[in-house]
């Protein structure tokens, strides 16, 4: 467990209260929380749990393993034997196929080794993004827990919320959702920028 996991346990009552107030009471019509809710499409508690489900360690070994496969492609391409003393049409056809296979394995922008390197780059970027998102949400949760708004919500307990409590819950929600929205938009850009990795290799 890291800092986010510990903070999420401590913040659960606050998040439940904020989610309940947004769902039942709402927020002032001009409050910035509405814009953040439209961006994330989740209540703060659900959004925080979604971030907590990110496991950067699961991608920790992916980059080096994929890069090792890329190096293997380079070695295989370099090791394809030339026809040497073999002559004739069959030798020419074999050599053409050998060169084509070597080019597909290594050497060009669309070769398998380059795609594997790009996939490793993506895996490492996603790992870093997951860790950054967890760290930033942990900081935002710590600030929220230490805020006067959180203290007021806790003291109010099950009492009907006043106007200040409604605004306070909306402020907490907006701050947390802004962190989630910003980081998930960055991840979306990463995925969109790597969409060519899903295209089939030319034969």
Rounded Cα distance between 84 and 161, Å, is 86
Instruction: Flag whether pLDDT at 121 surpasses 60.
Output: yes
> Residue 157 has what pLDDT?
62
Instruction: Please give the full DSSP string across 89-150, using - where no structure is assigned.
Output: HHHHHHHHHHHHHHHHHTTSTTSHHHHHHHHHHHHHHHHHHHHHHHHHHHHHHHHHHTSHHH
Kindly state the average pLDDT of the residues 126-138: 96
pTM for this entry: 0.82
What average pLDDT does the chain have? Answer: 89
C-alpha distances out from residue 144 to 38, 117, 152, 153, 165, Å: 21, 40, 12, 11, 14
The pLDDT tens digits of the residues spanning 86-113 come to 788 888 898 899 888 998 899 777 889 9
More confident residue, 180 or 91: 180
> Residue 198 has what pLDDT?
62
The pLDDT tens digits of the residues spanning 29-67 come to 999 999 999 999 999 999 999 999 999 998 888 899 999
Rounded Cα distance between 157 and 147, Å, is 16
**How many beta carbons lie within 10 A of that of residue 46, not counting itself?**
13
**DSSP for residue 59:** G
More confident residue, 159 or 169: 169
User: Cβ(63)–Cβ(26) under 8 Å?
Assistant: no
Kindly state the average pLDDT of the residues 73-89: 86
3-state SS, residue 41? coil
Position 71 confidence tier, pLDDT thresholds 50, 70, 90: very high
Question: Lowest-pLDDT range, 7-16, 94-103, 148-157?
Answer: 148-157
**What CA dihedral angle connects 152, 153, 155 and 160, to 10 degrees?**
110
> Residue 161 has what pLDDT?
73
């Amino acid at each position: 467990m890291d800092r986010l996991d510990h903070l999420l346990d401590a913040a659960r009552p606050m998040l439940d209260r904020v989610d309940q107030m947004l769902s039942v009471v709402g927020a002032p019509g001009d409050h910035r929380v509405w814009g953040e809710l439209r961006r994330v499409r989740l209540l703060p508690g659900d959004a925080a749990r979604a971030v907590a489900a990110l496991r950067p360690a699961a991608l920790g070994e992916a980059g080096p393993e994929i890069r090792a496969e890329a190096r293997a492609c380079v070695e295989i391409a370099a090791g394809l034997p030339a026809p040497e003393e073999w002559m004739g049409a069959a030798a020419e056809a074999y050599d053409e196929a050998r060169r084509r296979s070597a080019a597909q394995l290594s050497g060009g922008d669309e070769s398998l080794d380059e795609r594997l390197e790009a996939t490793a780059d993506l895996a490492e970027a996603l790992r870093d993004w997951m860790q950054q998102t967890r760290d930033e949400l942990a900081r935002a949760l710590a600030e929220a827990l230490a805020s006067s708004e959180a203290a007021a919500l806790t003291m109010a307990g099950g009492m009907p919320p006043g106007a200040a409590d409604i605004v306070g819950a909306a402020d907490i929600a907006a701050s947390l959702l802004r962190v989630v929205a910003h980081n998930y938009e960055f991840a979306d850009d990463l995925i969109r920028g790597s969409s060519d990795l899903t295209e089939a290799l030319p034969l």
